[in-house]
Amino acid sequence: MRSVRITVKQMETSVVGETEQLRSGSGVRIAGALNMVQKELLHEDFKESGPFNCSSTDVTQFEPPNLLDHDLERNFSTDLQSQKIIWQPAITSDKKFTVTVDIHIPPQLLYYKTGIFQLLKWAWIQYLSLLIVVHYCLRNFSAFVFENRLISVTVS
């Protein structure tokens, strides 16, 4: 299987996590790497639709059960790995709770299934490039052989 570099400029996804602390705190900081999990091969006419319908006024699509259901239907899901969680103790009497999330998104590999025309085009380019190189080498080799008379030829 060959790899092809595809740049996805924008992709929307949801990250769901859970953590608990027995003592009260003034905030939590979560850091991790966001990795994409691909369920099926991509087709050549792949178009990614986001998890949200932004033109709809229905706010129930943003409820956690609906987000999870929609995430399970997609070809891609995301997983926050290598989580590091740091709780900040409640030092002040302030009632604010701060959540800080640092997400690193490493390069991801996507696998796709090529179409017949893309496969034929790739094969034709490979054949043509090999033909040009072989033709050039054979032409120069035959010119060298005949110019230097390495093979004796009799014409009858």
Structural domain includes residue 81:
yes
Total domains present in the chain: 2
31 vs 127: CA distance, rounded Å: 49
Mean pLDDT of 71-97: 83
Give yes or no: residues 125 and 146 share one domain. Answer: yes
Is it the case that residue 81 has pLDDT exceeding 70? yes
28 vs 82: CA distance, rounded Å: 16
101 vs 32: CA distance, rounded Å: 8
pLDDT digits (tens, 9 = 90+) for 90-140: 877 778 888 899 999 888 887 878 888 888 998 999 999 999 999 999 999
Structural domain includes residue 1:
no
Mean pLDDT of 64-75: 80
59 vs 118: CA distance, rounded Å: 42
Give yes or no: residues 92 and 139 share one domain. Answer: no
Structural domain includes residue 122:
yes
Q: Which domain holds residue 96?
A: 25-104
65 vs 71: CA distance, rounded Å: 10
Q: Which residues contact 63 (CB under 8 A, 6 or more apart)?
A: none
Structural domain includes residue 60:
yes
pLDDT digits (tens, 9 = 90+) for 9-63: 566 777 777 788 878 888 889 999 998 888 888 776 666 666 566 677 777 877 8
Taking residue 13's Cβ as centre, other Cβ atoms within 10 Å add up to: 15
